[in-house]
Amino acid sequence: MYVAVKGGDAAISAAHAWLGQRRRGDEALPELSADQIDEQLGLAVDRVMAEGSCHDRGLAALAIKQARGDLIEAAFLLRAYRNTLSRFAACEPIDTGAMRVQRRISATYKDLPGGQVLGPTFDYTHRLLDFALAAEGVPPPEPEEAEAAEGTMPRVTELLAREGLMARDMPGGDEAPPDLTREPLPFPTPRPLRLQSLARGDEGFLLGLGYSTQRGYGNAHPFVAELRMGEVEVFLAPSELGFAISIGDIAVTECQMVNQFAGSAQNPPQFTRGYGLAMGHGERRAMSMALVDRALMSKEMGEEATAPAQDAEFVLLHADNVEATGFVEHLKLPHHVDFQSELEKLRSIRARWQADREAAPVQEAAE
Amino acid sequence: MNAITPRNAPENAYNFAYLDEATKRMIRRAILKAIAIPGHQIPFGAREMPLPYGWGTGGIQVTAAILGPRDVLKVIDQGADDTTNAVSIRRFFARVANVQTTTRTGEATIIQTRHRIPERPLTEGQVMVFQVPMPEPLFRLEPRLAETRRLHALGDYSLAQVKLYEDIAKQGESGSSYNHPVMVGGRYLMSPSPIPGFDNPKLHNSPALMLFGAGREKKIYAVPPYTTVESLDFEDHPFRPVRAPQRCSACGSATSYLDEIIADDKGGRIFVCSDTDHCAETQGL
């Protein structure tokens, strides 16, 4: 007699134990600490913070350890955790103009006020595997310290705006900005929500879309007006105080991308900007985001919108890798009930098809 | 089969049923609105849950929002209490809400389900919570939500009717075997979630409250008790629920929905109830 498949309970426990063993790996090797991940795999931590929508290096490092280095799984862990925290206030807008810059470059100007600061970048390295790194214990070379730049580092886009060449983005009103993590996305989607969605979107997806706008799918002609990375102060104005106090510093990467705009009856030809902001050090993300942000403005600019990157519903509803991986991977779950009805359906349709075929020669003879 | 599982020691690290009270209130408001407009999709601020999208986050959030300490929870996936996803979700609520769980349909006050409605008729006071992957019944015909919202507002379901007509014209019957769309209260076209067409008639005038949660798509909708639910069809081609024309090899039922099991590598197969509780009850276990 048939006995139905059982044992889900025991199987889950055993699978999780095995997973734990795999996570630890060879016990002859020292265990990786979350601190080591934070310090030595810092860009992975940055990506997980961005896609996990939570600025906490320690938690992101723990998530990476728990996820065995699977960064989407780590972002998912961090997102699930952040939802258990109560929201007690919203901070003031951060001022990236006042950033303590570690890196700042402009592609549109050879030199500019504040100078070009390369900072800790892969740019201009030769991509050769460094076998010296495989031999542990070799200390990295000491970087030469340049003199701190004098004065401020004005935003390049502001320089263009002063000349009337760049459309200014008007600051929002007093009303609180909409919050993607509290409300579902409406369509059409206002720009603040588009930017929020892109800021936590999958880096690879944003990268591919941004790339497509460069290859003729969306007709973009972008320039990196400015890319800056460093620490900004976060201010909070508790209602009982009535003024803002600093609650700490976070590292962010900001990209302002310049695009041409042909002009319209109302607006003169000018540059428009695509904007990207990422928590931590995430240049690829910030740049891709800026490209896609600009592509998504095409409708508002009265431009022809035919490319995938210009389609807000397509971009925003598929950018979230926690959502995407969930739905793709859910195909692993049992579907045998639905499949059973598919089986019956197919048999029924095939039987009818067969019957029709058997009747067919008679019809042909009649014609 | 085990019946009621007693409450465990509480897990204190999280609020009752995981979500904070403000989030639960937000979800309850969406549920109330959904009940007030049967079959209409209500957007809500769905959260990430510690289970992945596609695993039932919408259903889990609905259950978390309505669950009380005296509720008795049943969780099924594909009709069965012992499938891995059902085990996982039941464990989750036993852990974070410390509620009694059961496998008995008759004992449950809340039944969270993926892809099935139990065979045993539901009663007044029971709540079914469906996990919904794609709440928009028109999504394969029109993927743009702005457009489908307009079609719902106009009650324009010609896309679905033409699709059904084309299916019948081409292959003699409807092409959808599960997730066959239904008209709720004569007004809104609704996805019944991917339940087999066999289960569609159980939605009609049910004494139980039917709640549908789509987490990734951030929608909640409902069928209140005793609401008309008609599967989309034509007068001359009435909707026909299908099941495998066999008997359950465990309990002998000729009326329950059956799973087909491959028994050997020579094409042998047997059929058993998908609803494990119903099968056990029929066998007197």
B275 in a domain, yes or no?
A: yes
Find, in chain A, the residue whose alpha carbon is nearest to that of B197. Answer: A341
Q: Name the catalytic one among B39, B79, B213, B215.
A: B39
Looking at beta carbons, which residues of chain B come within 8 Å of A8?
82-84, 86-87
Burial annotation B22-46 (CB, 10 A radius, 16+ → b, else e): ebbebbeebbebbbebbbbbbbbbb
Q: How many CA atoms lie within 13 A of B186 on its CB side?
A: 0
Most confident of A255-269, B134-148, B245-259: B245-259
Residue with tokens 């460093």: A230
B119 in a domain, yes or no?
A: yes
Q: How far apart are CA A176 and CA A237, in angstroms?
A: 14
Q: How far apart are CA A166 and CA A303, in angstroms?
A: 17
Q: Which residues pair with B76 in a beta bridge?
A: B113
In this structure, the answer to whether residues B127 and B31 fall within a common structural domain is yes
CATH number at residue B213: 3.40.50.11310
Please state the rounded mean pLDDT for residues B243-253: 95
State whether residue A290 is helix, strand or coil.
Answer: helix
DSSP letter (8 states) at residue A233: E
Residue predicted with more confidence, A127 or B130 = B130
pLDDT at B6: 60
DSSP letter (8 states) at residue A208: H
Q: Which residues pair with B220 in a beta bridge?
A: B42, B213
Question: Mean of the per-residue pLDDT values for chain B?
Answer: 93
Looking at beta carbons, which residues of chain B come within 8 Å of A182?
45
Which pLDDT tens digit goes with each residue over B187-196? 999 999 999 9
Q: Give the distance, in angstroms, between the CA of residue A116 and the centroid of all CA atoms in the same chain.
A: 26
Q: Does B77 touch chain A (CB under 8 A)?
A: yes
- Residue B248 designated active-site: yes
* pLDDT level of residue B164 (50, 70, 90 thresholds): very high
Q: Does B283 touch chain A (CB under 8 A)?
A: no
Q: Which of B20, B196, B261 sits opposite A341 (nearest CB)?
A: B196
The answer to whether the CB of A210 falls within 8 A of the CB of A296 is no
A187 in a domain, yes or no?
A: yes
Among residues B208, B46, B54, the alpha carbon closest in space to that of B128 is found at B208
Could you give the residue ranges of the DSSP H alpha helices within chain B? 21-36, 57-66, 84-96, 145-154, 158-171, 276-282
Q: Which residues pair with B184 in a beta bridge?
A: B188, B229
Q: Which amino acid is at A166?
A: M
In this structure, the answer to whether residues A53 and A154 fall within a common structural domain is no
Q: Does A30 touch chain B (CB under 8 A)?
A: no
In this structure, the answer to whether residues B224 and B248 fall within a common structural domain is no
Q: With a cut of 50, say whether residue A220 has pLDDT above it.
A: yes
Q: How far apart are CA A63 and CA A58, in angstroms?
A: 9
- For chain A, positions 169-208, list CB contacts with chain B under 8 A: 181-188
B69 in a domain, yes or no?
A: yes
Please state the rounded mean pLDDT for residues A306-317: 95
Q: How many CA atoms lie within 13 A of B161 on its CB side?
A: 9
The answer to whether the CB of B53 falls within 8 A of the CB of A327 is yes
Please state the rounded mean pLDDT for residues B153-170: 95
Using CA atoms, how far residue A354 sits from A98, A111, A343, B91, B172, in Å, is: 75, 77, 16, 48, 12
User: Are residues A327 and B178, on separate chains, in Cβ contact within 8 Å?
Assistant: no
Most confident of A176-180, B49-53, B188-192: B188-192
Can you give the residue range of the structural domain that contains A288?
96-119+150-169+182-324
B213 in a domain, yes or no?
A: yes
pLDDT at A177: 82
Q: With a cut of 90, say whether residue A64 has pLDDT above it.
A: yes
A320 in a domain, yes or no?
A: yes
Q: Which of B82, B114, B270 sits opposite A8 (nearest CB)?
A: B82
Among residues B21, B142, B220, B223, the alpha carbon closest in space to that of A184 is found at B220
- Residue B54 designated active-site: no
A103 in a domain, yes or no?
A: yes
Please state the rounded mean pLDDT for residues A207-235: 90
State whether residue B113 is helix, strand or coil.
Answer: strand
Q: How many CB atoms lie within 10 A of CB A228?
A: 27
Looking at beta carbons, which residues of chain B come within 8 Å of A4?
250, 272, 276
Looking at beta carbons, which residues of chain A come within 8 Å of B15?
84
pLDDT at B162: 97
A219 in a domain, yes or no?
A: yes
In this structure, the answer to whether residues B125 and B266 fall within a common structural domain is no
Q: Which amino acid is at B193?
A: S
Q: What's the alpha-carbon Rg for chain B, to the nearest Å?
A: 19
Tell me if the bond preceding B137 is cis, omega within 30° of 0: no
A77 in a domain, yes or no?
A: yes
DSSP codes of every residue in B164-228: HHHHHHHHSS-S-SBS--EEETTTEEE---S-BGGGGGGGTT-SSEEEEEETTTTEEEEE-TT--
Please state the rounded mean pLDDT for residues B71-96: 93
Would the pTM of this model clear 0.90, i.e. be above it? no
Q: How far apart are CA B207 and CA B109, in angstroms?
A: 13
* pLDDT level of residue A143 (50, 70, 90 thresholds): confident
Residue predicted with more confidence, A142 or A74 = A74
The total number of structural domains that make up chain A: 2
* pLDDT level of residue A149 (50, 70, 90 thresholds): low
User: Are residues A337 and B196, on separate chains, in Cβ contact within 8 Å?
Assistant: yes
Can you give the residue range of the structural domain that contains B275?
243-285
CA B280 to chain A, closest CA, distance in angstroms equals: 11
* pLDDT level of residue B1 (50, 70, 90 thresholds): very low
Which pLDDT tens digit goes with each residue over A257-281? 998 777 777 778 888 899 999 999 9
Burial annotation B72-90 (CB, 10 A radius, 16+ → b, else e): bbbbbbbbbbbbbbbbbbb
The answer to whether the CB of A260 falls within 8 A of the CB of A221 is yes
A134 in a domain, yes or no?
A: no
Tokens, residue A72:
């989407």
Q: With a cut of 70, say whether residue A4 has pLDDT above it.
A: no
User: Are residues B242 and A323, on separate chains, in Cβ contact within 8 Å?
Assistant: no
State whether residue A283 is helix, strand or coil.
Answer: helix
Sheet holding B182-184, edge to edge: B188-190, B182-184, B229-231
* pLDDT level of residue A139 (50, 70, 90 thresholds): confident
Q: Which amino acid is at A260?
A: Q
Tokens, residue B95:
């852990």
Looking at beta carbons, which residues of chain A come within 8 Å of B19?
83
Q: With a cut of 50, say whether residue A367 has pLDDT above it.
A: no
Q: Which amino acid is at B75?
A: V
In this structure, the answer to whether residues B215 and B101 fall within a common structural domain is yes
In this structure, the answer to whether residues A295 and A242 fall within a common structural domain is yes
Q: How far apart are CA A267 and CA A260, in angstroms?
A: 13
Which pLDDT tens digit goes with each residue over B99-123? 999 999 999 999 999 999 999 999 9
Burial bucket for residue A274 (CB in 10 Å: 0-12, 13-18, 19+)? buried
A338 in a domain, yes or no?
A: no
Please state the rounded mean pLDDT for residues A108-130: 84
B255 in a domain, yes or no?
A: yes
B76 in a domain, yes or no?
A: yes
Find, in chain A, the residue whose alpha carbon is nearest to that of B150. Answer: A187
Please state the rounded mean pLDDT for residues A306-335: 95
Which pLDDT tens digit goes with each residue over B55-83? 899 999 999 999 999 999 999 999 999 98
Residue with tokens 């996805």: B191
Q: Are strands B182-184 and B127-131 parallel, antiparallel or unpaired?
A: unpaired
State whether residue A71 is helix, strand or coil.
Answer: helix
Q: With a cut of 50, say whether residue A173 has pLDDT above it.
A: yes
User: Are residues B82 and A9, on separate chains, in Cβ contact within 8 Å?
Assistant: yes
pLDDT at A168: 80
The answer to whether the CB of B173 falls within 8 A of the CB of A349 is yes
The total number of structural domains that make up chain B: 2
Residue with tokens 């938690």: A59
In this structure, the answer to whether residues B247 and B218 fall within a common structural domain is no
Please state the rounded mean pLDDT for residues B200-204: 98
In this structure, the answer to whether residues B269 and B185 fall within a common structural domain is no
Find, in chain A, the residue whose alpha carbon is nearest to that of B279. Answer: A4
DSSP codes of every residue in A135-172: STTPPPPPPPPPPPPSS----HHHHHHHTT-BPPPPPP
In this structure, the answer to whether residues A161 and A187 fall within a common structural domain is yes
Among residues B149, B159, B156, B182, the alpha carbon closest in space to that of B43 is found at B149
Which pLDDT tens digit goes with each residue over A73-91? 999 999 999 999 988 888 9
Q: How far apart are CA A139 and CA A10, in angstroms?
A: 48
Please state the rounded mean pLDDT for residues A337-347: 94
Q: With a cut of 70, say whether residue B84 has pLDDT above it.
A: yes
User: Are residues A323 and B55, on separate chains, in Cβ contact within 8 Å?
Assistant: no
Please state the rounded mean pLDDT for residues B248-265: 90
* pLDDT level of residue B11 (50, 70, 90 thresholds): low
Q: How far apart are CA B283 and CA B273, in angstroms?
A: 11
B148 CB-near residues (< 8 Å, 6+ apart): B136, B138, B139, B142
Looking at beta carbons, which residues of chain B come within 8 Å of A344?
177, 242-244
Using CA atoms, how far residue A96 sits from A151, A230, A232, A367, in Å, is: 15, 9, 6, 80
DSSP letter (8 states) at residue B43: E
